[in-house]
């Protein structure tokens, strides 16, 4: 694994308390495997980070959308702070490379799982808040998520790939038949991976995997959109 100082350079913040940074990167699977106490995994920091990410993103949207109603602000904030969007932000800073994962989770592709990445992103922001205060935390969040906030405010950040796909398909064929078929599942009951195929008018147009059937369907829709199937 790369050194933690490399992550500090990427995010533009140097921790005074390096243990806070390390804790933010420790997944529960690693803590359990190593016999560490609950306080040594990143779930408590995730709780803190979740609140501050919401607050910073919400405040910025409030500032740049002066005439927006509360409902609109809530929807736009949800676009920025949803699991998929935060996982993408985590990927932008290569956060998966720095995570401490249990051997099984690592072998199962945990460094690329949206749920793990988004939780770790929130934990990292929580650690920055505790280490450097709200202003520093806000600065880092806006540095990483600023473009996504601007896109959300303009209505161009839509992470609901199923809705986007449906709208695009129906623009061409209002009678088109769109189906999501479960093609497989693997893993233990507490940590399953689902595989889904997207079928449009009898033709397979996309495939996706996810930790739930809903996420697998979103991934299949994203796959179809990314390939220009529609």
Sign of CA dihedral 103, 104, 105, 107: positive
Q: Give the C-alpha separation, 104 to 203, whole Å.
A: 36
Does residue 197 have an active-site annotation?
A: no
Q: How far apart are the first and last CA of the chain?
A: 40
Q: Catalytic one among 105, 119, 122, 195?
A: 122
Q: Give the C-alpha separation, 25 to 216, whole Å.
A: 26
Q: Give the C-alpha separation, 228 to 218, whole Å.
A: 15
Q: Which residues contact 2 (CB under 8 A, 6 or more apart)?
A: 97, 98
What is the DSSP secondary structure assignment for residue 93, as one 8-state letter? T
Q: Which residues contact 74 (CB under 8 A, 6 or more apart)?
A: none
- As beta bridge partners, residue 185 has 194
Q: 103 burial class (0-12, 13-18, 19+ CB within 10 angstroms)?
A: exposed
Q: List the one residue out of 166, 177, 169, 180 whose CA is nearest residue 215.
A: 180
Does residue 50 have an active-site annotation?
A: yes
Residues carrying an active site annotation: 50, 122
């Amino acid at each position: 694994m790369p050194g933690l100082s490399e992550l500090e350079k990427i995010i533009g913040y140097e921790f005074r308390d390096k243990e806070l940074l390390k804790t933010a990167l420790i997944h529960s699977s690693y803590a359990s495997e190593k016999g560490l106490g609950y306080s040594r995994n990143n779930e408590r920091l995730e709780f803190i980070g979740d609140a501050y990410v919401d607050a910073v993103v919400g405040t910025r949207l409030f500032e740049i959308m002066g005439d927006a109603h509360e409902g609109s602000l809530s929807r736009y904030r949800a676009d920025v702070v949803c699991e998929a969007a935060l996982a993408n932000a985590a990927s932008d800073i290569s956060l998966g490379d720095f995570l401490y994962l249990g051997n099984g989770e690592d072998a199962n592709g945990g460094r690329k799982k949206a749920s793990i990445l988004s939780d770790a992103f929130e934990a990292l922001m929580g650690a920055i808040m505790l280490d450097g205060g709200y202003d520093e935390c806000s600065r880092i969040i806006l540095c990483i998520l600023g473009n996504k906030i601007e896109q959300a405010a303009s209505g161009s950040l839509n992470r609901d790939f199923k809705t986007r796909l449906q709208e695009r398909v129906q623009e061409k064929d209002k009678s088109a038949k769109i189906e999501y078929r479960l093609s497989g599942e693997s893993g233990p009951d507490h940590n399953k991976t689902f595989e889904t195929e997207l079928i449009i008018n009898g033709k397979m147009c996309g495939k996706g995997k996810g930790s739930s059937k809903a996420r697998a369907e979103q991934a299949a829709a994203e796959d179809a959109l990314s390939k220009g199937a529609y």
